[in-house]
Chain A
């Protein structure tokens, strides 16, 4: 049935996208080059050494961040990944997640600070974040594919967009949640807003901001699988392949590797959030 009226939203999007790709081609190429370079660098860092060296390093990080239990668990988990022959894929995906997380955090924390400092900024940012978070993730892949061509880059870009929201929201929430009297005290003694941000708001908001970073990482990981569809490779590549071949075994092997990565990243970042200076006095 033909609707009473038809909004040509799809046509507009395509026209806009065409215009973007032709006029900003150089910009996209530049971004692409940077992301590819960063990805290759980190991927090399994880893949070049023997796998057991990398496992030992990760286990040490987990031990330092949380305790010996997580250290041992990490060593065991990564050994399983090696055992199911997903090591290389897992390192590819980990590199993708790390790049996407770093870029997301670098963009989302300043946005969150801005949103916390101004109600108007908050009102503008909020619907955009809603849009980014609820739009089905796969929809991002198409324009990303058009702009950045097949490969790991559209995967990274789609992941960044998808995981941006919690980074911004938690930062805003954390800063707005800082005890107003302490902020007032900063003002009352003649501190500049920048000093208050640096010495009072950010340190006191750190647990909440770290919870946001943790969420960013988790969302990135869940996006990794979808990014496999545009040729980002890694664990997502195998999941997509297992889907097209109806290969439950391969799918499960790739899937369990995603779960292990997720648990490792979640526990390590969560313990960074807990180890804030605010509770230091009581713990020591």
Chain B
């Protein structure tokens, strides 16, 4: 197995709070890797250290053989590591189609391209691609509606579509089912399990054990900023340390 993402000895403190201590993690190409842990365990901090939102105090983050620490967020995106946010980060004033066009344009135009004389309505190829992606997520009927007027579930689906259209090498999903009803959660699981989403290398941060055990090939457990176990779902289920730190606390939801 080749490593696509390698996190070595990462520490991060906020004032007196030691959010991450000596985190080591390897993500294999093609796997779906879940990171679980109680609230405040440092899951989101770890993700933010990967995508350039936070800079770790020490340690290294290597993606596809390249150092990612201190690299601008937009360059990390172009390296192929794309994040889907916990609270939907969409463009509320734009239509759903435009929301998906933007990441597609990023993929095509790079970090900056001055093309004030193009016509967005004439970009056939990229529009078709965007419509197809919307259709994959069952959003094609809303393509002209404002993204801000969508339901929470549809916004999350749109987020996934925006991530997927960039064909990332690694997709980081921050609680893709947070705040969803059971039916929506199951729909999202199906989405992540089928089609192009299936083969994509994914890191999923998740609270919901149902989601984790239906999707993950491997699981890492984060507690108080430290990874206490990494392994297959079966191994994690039976790991006494994990039971004590996390599952034992009765959070089987």
- State yes or no: do A and B come from one complex: no
